[in-house]
Each structure stands twice: as structure tokens, then as C-alpha cells.
Amino acid sequence: MRSTDDAIATEYTTPELVAAFIANDLEDGIGVMVGANLPIPRAGVLLAHLTHGPNMRVTLSMTRTNLFHEPAMEPFEFSTDFRAAKWAESYFIHNQLIDDIKRSSMRDVFFIGGLQIDRYGNANLIGIGADYGHLKMRGPGGVGTGDKGCHCKRYYLYINNHDRRVLVEKCDFVTAFGWGDGGADARRKLGIPGGGPRYCITPLCIFDFHEETKHMRIKSLHPGVTLEQVLDQTGFAPIVPARIEITLPPTAEQIRILRERIDREGILRRTS
């Protein structure tokens, strides 16, 4: 964890800010999957790894490794990119994902997205529509997010677009069970291990969950974002605390490492 008095970067993009937020929240010693097509969480994970996580285990492109001493990472566009094998300390043989549940439940941290995410942090990748037999929009499928959400130390909900269609009152279907219908015991009641969703990370703000109700609550707004903007673009009424923080900007050192070692192609610097 960084101290807050490090020199703040003079210029940075929102994706870099979000990557730094993720990095600041990840502790050394965890195991974390680096998603191929989630460049911002990937950058955040690697930033934590290179700055204060020398004992992290990172899984990328079907390999497990430690990149602490690697001078620079190239981006791997596909999760099957065999070129990552040059770093492999062990292989992630995919069907063995049901064999290390005990270990991953203790150690792993994960990122989960959704076509929809609701106020209690449940996520949906099946599709949109009231009737499963006649979906208005068929999604790609839950992949392995639901099981991972059950069997990991904790996870982060992550979305690239903050709008009312994504952040909804109630998911049409649940692929990854967050806090169900609410309440701190929602997971324990069903015997679901794992810490559940910790934050929901968006391009506008960070949400956390109320300790008792597990209702989504605004934790911090990214610099330049207003409360009205967030409320206007969220499909449910999040809890608004008396004092809202501003998301901590990245330090000059974090930006340097991001740009020189992690994101040399500038994927996080493109303003869409």
C-alpha cells in the first residue's frame, strides 16, 4: 500500500487512474489472473506486482508466473497467446481449475464484469430479457466468473461503461452471485465461501457495499466527475454518504512504471 504523500502525477488519463486505484488495493502474496482483453485491470494488477507485490502469483495466457524482475511486458491480446510461455513457472492446464479450489479460495483475487450489475453486486453475462427462452440480447455466457466469484478470497466488479443499462436495480439473470438480495449474511446463508465483491469499479467512480445491507454505496468520485453525473447514469439509487472522497490520483512513479514497463503501447492513454 502506498503512502498518500508521494508526488502526484501532473497528467494522467482515467484508465491510468483506475489502474492505480486497483494497484493500491492489491496486497502482496495474492494470486491474480491477468485477463487478456481487460487492459485496465491487467495494468492495475501488474502495477501492484511491480511496485509492492514481489510475491504475487500472476496467471496470464494459461501460465502462472512472477514478473517482478521483468523489465517490460508486451500486451497479449488473446488469453491463449503461447508467447507468454517464455515466462511460465507452471502451466495453467484449464481443466485443472476444479482441482485447486481450496488454494484459490484462500489466495486468489479476481475481476468480474457483466452485461448487468445490480445494487447488491450480482453480475449477469447470460443475456438481457425477462424470459430465458426469448432473450432480447443473448450474452457470451458466464465463462468461469460465477465459480471464481464463489471460490476466491475476494473479487472486484469491473465495467468499462457506466450507464443505466449496465448498473440496474435487479439483474435479469445472475451468473456471479454477489450479495444476492442483500444483507451481510447473504453468502454465508447459502454456504458460499469467498469474500465476495469488494468494490465496483467504473470509469466515473468507485462503489463499495454498505457493511450491513450490502447495498452499493458511492465510495469515491474520479477527479472531475460530479455526484449528479453518477446518479444520472446509474440505474438504481446508490447510497450517498455524507462525505464522498475523490479517487486518489496516481503518483508520478506509478505513471512512469505504467508507461515504461506495463503499457508501452499506450492503450491506457488513448482517449476514446
Partner 1 sequence: MTEQVEIERRSLLLDEVEAGRGIRDGMTVALGGFITSSHPMALVRQIIRNGVRDLTVIGAASSGLDVDLLIGAGCVRKIISPYVGAETLAPIGPFFRAAAERGEIEVWEIDEALFYVGLRAAAQLLPFLPWRGLVGTSYPEVNPDLKIFRDPIKGETLIAVPAITPDVTLIHAAAADVYGNVQHHGTGFGDRALHLASDRTIVEVERVIPNQEVRKDPLKTSLWEVDAVVRAPFGAHPYSSPGFHVEDREHVREYVAAAQAYTRMGDHGPFRAYLERYVLEPATHADYLERVGIKRLLTLYEY
Binding segment for partner 1 (CB under 8 A), chosen from 5-13, 121-129, 228-236, 243-251, is 121-129
Q: Minimum distance from CB of 131 to partner 1 (Å)?
A: 10
Asked if 36 is part of the footprint of partner 1 (rule: CB under 8 A), the reply reads: yes
Asked if 272 is part of the footprint of partner 1 (rule: CB under 8 A), the reply reads: no
Mask: binding to partner 1, 204-243, rule CB under 8 A, as x and -? ----------------------------------------
List 2, 8, 107, 139, residue binding partner 1 (CB under 8 A): 139
Question: Please, which residue, 54 or 266, has the CB nearer to partner 1?
Answer: 266
List 12, 173, 207, 209, residue binding partner 1 (CB under 8 A): 173
Asked if 34 is part of the footprint of partner 1 (rule: CB under 8 A), the reply reads: no
Cell of 219: 465510495
Asked if 151 is part of the footprint of partner 1 (rule: CB under 8 A), the reply reads: yes
Mask: binding to partner 1, 76-95, rule CB under 8 A, as x and -? -xxxxxxx-x-----xxxxx
**How many whole angstroms from its chain centre is CA 257?**
20
Q: Is the dihedral of CA 196, 201, 205, 206 positive or negative?
A: positive
Q: Minimum distance from CB of 50 to partner 1 (Å)?
A: 24
CB 142 within 8 A of CB 112: no
Report the alpha-carbon distance of residue 106 to residue 17 in Å, rounded: 28
Report the alpha-carbon distance of residue 246 to residue 242 in Å, rounded: 13
List 167, 168, 174, 268, residue binding partner 1 (CB under 8 A): 174
Q: Minimum distance from CB of 4 to partner 1 (Å)?
A: 36
Question: Please, which residue, 12 or 118, has the CB nearer to partner 1?
Answer: 118
Number of residues that bind partner 1 (CB under 8 A): 52
Q: How many CA atoms lie within 13 A of 107 on its CB side?
A: 16
Residues in the chain: 272
Report the alpha-carbon distance of residue 197 to residue 27 in Å, rounded: 16
Question: Please, which residue, 66 or 79, has the CB nearer to partner 1?
Answer: 79
Amino acid identity, residue 72? A
- Encode burial over 65-77: b for 16+ CB neighbours within 10 A, e otherwise: bebeeeeebeebe
Beta strands in 79-225 (DSSP E): 90-91, 108-112, 116-118, 123-124, 127-128, 137-138, 154-158, 167-168, 197-201, 205-209, 216-221
Q: Which residue has the cell 447470460?
A: 126
Question: Please, which residue, 71 or 191, has the CB nearer to partner 1?
Answer: 191
List 27, 54, 72, 138, residue binding partner 1 (CB under 8 A): 138
- Report CA-CA distances (Å) from 270 to 36, 158, 160, 181, 263: 18, 19, 14, 38, 11
Asked if 30 is part of the footprint of partner 1 (rule: CB under 8 A), the reply reads: no
Asked if 136 is part of the footprint of partner 1 (rule: CB under 8 A), the reply reads: yes
Contacting residues toward partner 1, per CB under 8 A: 36-37, 62-63, 77-83, 85, 91-95, 97-98, 101, 124, 126-127, 132-147, 150-151, 173-177, 180, 187, 190-193
